[in-house]
Amino acid sequence: MEFRDLKAQYQKYSNEIDKAIKNVLTAGTFIGGKEVNTLENRLAEYVGVKHCISCANGTEAMSLILMAWGIGEGDAIFVPDFTFFATGEVVSHIGATPIFVDVCQDTYNIDTKKLEKAIVRTFEEGKLTPKVIIPVDLFGLPADYEEIERLAKTYNLRVLEDSAQGFGGSIKEKKAGSFGDAATTSFFPAKPLGCYGDGGAIFTNDDGLAELVQSLKVHGKGTDKYDNVRIGINSRLDTIQAAILQVKLTALIEHELADVNRVYEWYTKRLQGIVKTPVIPDGFTSSFAQYTIQLKNKEERDDLQAELKRQGIPSMVYYIKPMHKQTAFANLEYNDNDFTATNKLSDTVLSLPMHPYLNEDEVALVCSSIRGFLGQA
């Protein structure tokens, strides 16, 4: 059994993927070209925004936006404490200061009540200037953007949506990647829409921001790549990856999103009342980058993971260490009591095999193993 079965996906779409790669090899255009342009147009249309700008990876996508906004030393950026390191890393890398905020134990996304308290406290302390909120659509579920955008408007902040795990998710009819002032995603292979290497993209309705990012991602180019009008970076999506992503985007739209939500229903039907299962609020759709359960404590979680491994069932812990406890952020001062939900989640979460190509028998096997371990067979 695979944790996320990219081999099954390739087997289903091998002819289309092989043909797409061969077309790029035959044309001999490996940077830019029609595949990249077509992909960007399709992604923008799917998400429902004016501009999609592809780049080398999801981390640089966030960095490019922060660069374009002029974020730097003395600026405070609000980031969930329970997320992958990159979301806070890009803030420190650009010279700003991440302010970590606890998350909701049910949704795993940033707690908006604690977010407002952190914003107010930062203003009152007067050491940093609050500038940006970076919500993360964790495990596939969009964050509470209605409240986040209200807070941003109240306190004059920008919102940068990190939809690396949430691509394909939605709130009502509005897609992940379309919230806030700008959004980013990652095409890391295991993401809901992943390529066969690294890749990323930026989404925005802001014409000026899109133009600036297009310059920054190619060495700060002006009219052409030898007219450099600002200091930028080199961050481009390879043409072969764009060709692969076109096939995978079609699959996501046609069936993968529906299929992965069907797997969610299979899991939840069998595990509800046995362990804490994912909570999807009314009007929200998750793209289920992960299916994550919660156990009673760290010992139970670790013992269950060991038992599943013994039975050949893969599982993962996202995330074993909160952001505020990362060694790289040791220079920042935090009160551990401000992160009760994150601290508990780091000790109790376990992500199970989750992808569109799981069948019901495989889900039943995983659930039977969990129920047996917990004495609920």
pTM for the whole structure: 0.96
CATH class of 6-102+109-247: alpha beta
State residue 376's pLDDT score.
79
φ, ψ dihedrals at 174, nearest 5°? -95, 125
At 377, is the pLDDT very low, low, confident or very high (cuts 50, 70, 90)? Answer: low
Average pLDDT over residues 206-212: 98
CA 85 to CA 247: how far, in whole Å? 30
What is the percentage of the chain residues whose pLDDT exceeds 70? 100
Mean pLDDT on 163-172? 98
* Cα angle 77, 81, 84; round to 5: 95
Mean pLDDT score, 15-31: 97
The whole-number average pLDDT for the span 169-174 is: 96
Q: Given this model, what pLDDT does residue 90 score?
A: 98
CB-based contact 42:250 (threshold 8 Å): no
Distance (Å, whole) CA 40 – CA 53: 6
pLDDT surpasses 70 at 323: yes
Written as six digits, the tokens of 184 are: 């980013």
Look at residue 328 and give its three-state secondary structure.
helix
Domain boundaries, the chain: 6-102+109-247, 255-373
Flag whether pLDDT at 373 surpasses 80: yes
Percentage of residues of the chain with pLDDT beyond 90? 98
Instruction: Domain 255-373: give its CATH code.
Output: 3.90.1150.10
Mean pLDDT, the chain, integer: 97
Closest CA to 323 of 301, 305, 345: 345
Q: Residue 50: what pLDDT?
A: 98
The pLDDT of 152-161, averaged and rounded, is 98
Q: Band the pLDDT of 136: cuts 50, 70, 90.
A: very high
For 39-48, the pLDDT digits (tens) are 999 999 999 9
